Amino acid sequence: MNKPETDPVITQTQHWLEQAVIGLNLCPFAKSVHANQRLRYVVSAATEPEQLIQELARELIFLQRADPDEVETTLLIHPHVLTDFLDFNDFLDAADGVIDELQLQGELQIANFHPQYRFDGTQIDDITNYSNRSPYPTLHLLRESSIERAIETMADTDSIFETNVDTLRKLGLKGWKALGLAE
């Protein structure tokens, strides 16, 4: 499942992570996790949301039990299910429900990325949507303790979103494409 050298889904996701997330500093906390190889990539074979729920539960349990010095966070990439953004967005409540069912509230959380990501109130082609656009639908499983540590190292985490908006507006769609990232 985790074959960075041969799996094109992982290769494309790593390219996006390196060029956009880290390269544009959209997430100032991603660089060290990536550089220290504590990011787990899992490509789901799920074709139905129910299958993805099962895989999500397994990965949440895996992440909870894993040594954070080995695996700090997981990208659960699911290229064959929830490819429509509205379906993906509707699924997020069920994903959070898995955290509740496993009694992992306060320990793990899920961030989300999608190739058609669209913030509420924005036009589909608004460049600011690209802060959450990934090559494939992706659930990012995060340890809350990691988030807390990262927040302690940064004085103003509220400015991250505003900085991302400024960065993306300056870059524009032409600049995004020049990074070798899909629309």
What pLDDT, in 10s, does the model give residues 128-146?
999 999 999 999 999 999 9
Domain count, the chain: 1
By CB neighbour count within 10 A (0-12 exposed, 13-18 middle, 19+ buried), where does 109 fall? Answer: middle
Q: For all residues of the chain together, what is the average pLDDT?
A: 94
Q: Is residue 22 part of a domain?
A: yes
Q: Is residue 165 part of a domain?
A: yes
Give yes or no for residue 5 having a pLDDT over 70: no
Q: Is residue 3 part of a domain?
A: no
Q: Is residue 183 part of a domain?
A: no
Domain carrying residue 101: 8-178
Q: Is residue 34 part of a domain?
A: yes
In the numeric block, which tokens belong to residue 70?
A: 């080995």
Alpha helices, DSSP H only, in the chain?
Answer: 8-16, 30-35, 49-65, 85-101, 144-152, 159-178
pTM strictly above 0.85: yes
Q: Is residue 122 part of a domain?
A: yes
- 70-103 confidence digits (pLDDT tens): 999 999 999 999 999 999 999 999 999 999 999 9
Q: Reading across the β-sheet that carries 39-43, which strands appear in turn?
A: 39-43, 73-77, 138-143, 108-113
Of the pLDDT bands very low, low, confident and very high (cuts 50, 70, 90), residue 2 is very low
Of the pLDDT bands very low, low, confident and very high (cuts 50, 70, 90), residue 4 is very low
Q: Is residue 169 part of a domain?
A: yes
Give yes or no for residue 172 having a pLDDT over 90: yes
Q: What is the mean pLDDT of residues 153-159?
A: 80
Q: Is residue 2 part of a domain?
A: no
